[in-house]
Amino acid sequence: MNGIRHRWFSQNLETALKVLPVAVVTGARQTGKTTLAKSLDAKRAYFTLDDVGVLDQAERNPDSLLTTRPVTLDEVQRVPQLLLAVKRAVDERRKAGDFVLTGSANLLLMGRVADTLAGRAIYLELPPFCPAEWMQRKEALKPIDRLFSPAFDLHDWPDEKGNWIRWLLCGGFPPAVAIEADRDRGLWFAAYVQTYLDRDLRQLSDVASLPDFQRLMALSANRTGKLLNQADLARDAALSHPTAHRYLNLLETGCLITRIRPFTTNPSSAIVKAPKLLWSDCGLAAWLAGIRAPEDVAKRLDSGFWLEQTIYQTLQSWRALDPANRRLYYWRDRAGHEVDFLLEQNDKLVAMEIKSSSQVSPSDISSILAFKSVLKKSHSLVCGVVLHAGNARPMDKDVFALPWGWMVKD
């Protein structure tokens, strides 16, 4: 399939432009923010701070870029003071949809920047493509929505074959997915990392040693899907704990990693509170971890975590379509019970375990049952599911074994 692909996310942006004067679209470089912004009304002015002349103008006279409305300003993280000019313009004449700002950094995590537009902007994060979106399968995420129905029917869940290792290696950045050969795609990821280190990272912060930072990236990639122990990560990277913490914050600000928080209804000491580390793009994470070909996956003892990272690509797309009402968590207690993902929508929960095997036994639902037993009345567990490589079947009351194949279908 060639040509520009429609982003499901565009509906979020179109709605935002009807409500607030500023819509801020962030996401890692190469997720398609510029293409999305340019697909808006053709009468909207467009300026990118990647243009040296525009960058100089933004630094010297930012107000001059705002005389024509509506306007899109691309890569605004390069000149944070430009946002003060946007604030002044909004305060002088407030009109919904006047400004679209894009950036390869999560401006909400840049405190001074976020405060500038408080009450004037809505923040939207564009994730990389998931397999279903890349293949333009309309309404492809509906099966996840059906899990929240009290009348969920096994027959409503797709039974399709998929190739998760292919999607693990491809990821969701459009230029990378379009490359057929694994070796050639590896060159693209190498160039991507180098560009990030030499350009994007330096715009966010002063990093004394880029090799140290890249080493921490690789070590973090090898921890994907696992609980994040910053002390262990700092030790393995030969960095101080504060430095490792700052580098992780920079990766999150650059929209490259996500720290999934544990679900809890109270501050019980029996609940593990460390976040789970996941990468926004599974292909980039795999490349950083040294996974360059299908045979590399077979050699690893942690392949289950990489399946989880690949499925996360679809779950983050599901969350991004309704960020106000959808959340992703995980759950683990100190007895060792762990639920890989908790999907929350309007105070309703779906517990999700992910298995690479085609066989599911009663022991595979023990963590879901343990979570169900401690859940407080403030939330409702609609169902629990074990995604696996086999066939759909009921496992317990409102607990099902379901195939994950459709999430990674070509």
pLDDT digits (tens, 9 = 90+) for 240-267: 999 999 999 999 999 999 999 999 866 5
Q: What is the pLDDT of residue 280?
A: 98
Same domain as 163, residue 121: no
Domain edge (last residue) among 87, 108, 125: 125
CA distances from 188 to 8, 175, 215, 219, 354 (A): 25, 8, 19, 20, 30
For 265, which DSSP code? S
Task: Read off the pLDDT of each residue in 58-67 and give the average, rounded to a whole number.
Answer: 94
Same domain as 318, residue 187: yes
Same domain as 107, residue 175: no
pLDDT in tens, 331-390: 998 888 999 999 999 989 999 999 999 999 999 999 999 999 988 766 789 999 999 999
Residue 5 domain-assigned (yes or no): no
Residue 14 domain-assigned (yes or no): yes
Of 260, 278, 92, 51, nearest to 72 (Cα)?
A: 51
Confidence of residue 268 (pLDDT cuts 50, 70, 90): low
Judged by average pLDDT, the poorest of 70-79, 95-104, 200-209, 379-388 is 200-209
Same domain as 162, residue 87: no
Same domain as 345, residue 272: yes
For residues 28 and 47, give the distance between their C-alpha atoms in angstroms, rounded to a whole number: 19
Half-sphere exposure of 280 (CA within 13 A, CB side): 24
Q: How many helices (H) and strands (E) does the chain have?
A: 18, 13
Q: What is the pLDDT of residue 78?
A: 85
- Mean pLDDT in the chain? 92
Judged by average pLDDT, the poorest of 148-152, 203-207, 241-245, 265-269 is 265-269
Residue 243 domain-assigned (yes or no): yes
Q: What is the pLDDT of residue 398?
A: 95
Confidence of residue 410 (pLDDT cuts 50, 70, 90): confident
Q: What is the pLDDT of residue 109?
A: 60
Same domain as 361, residue 273: yes
Range of the domain at 101: 10-125
Confidence of residue 141 (pLDDT cuts 50, 70, 90): very high
For residues 212 and 101, give the distance between their C-alpha atoms in angstroms, rounded to a whole number: 32
Q: Are 108 and 115 in contact (CB under 8 A)?
A: no
Confidence of residue 92 (pLDDT cuts 50, 70, 90): very high
Q: What is the pLDDT of residue 243?
A: 95
Q: What is the pLDDT of residue 138?
A: 83
Q: What is the pLDDT of residue 1?
A: 46
Residue 2 domain-assigned (yes or no): no
Residue 135 domain-assigned (yes or no): yes
Domain edge (last residue) among 105, 125, 145: 125
CATH of the domain at 33: 3.40.50.300
Same domain as 112, residue 155: no
Domain edge (last residue) among 75, 110, 125: 125
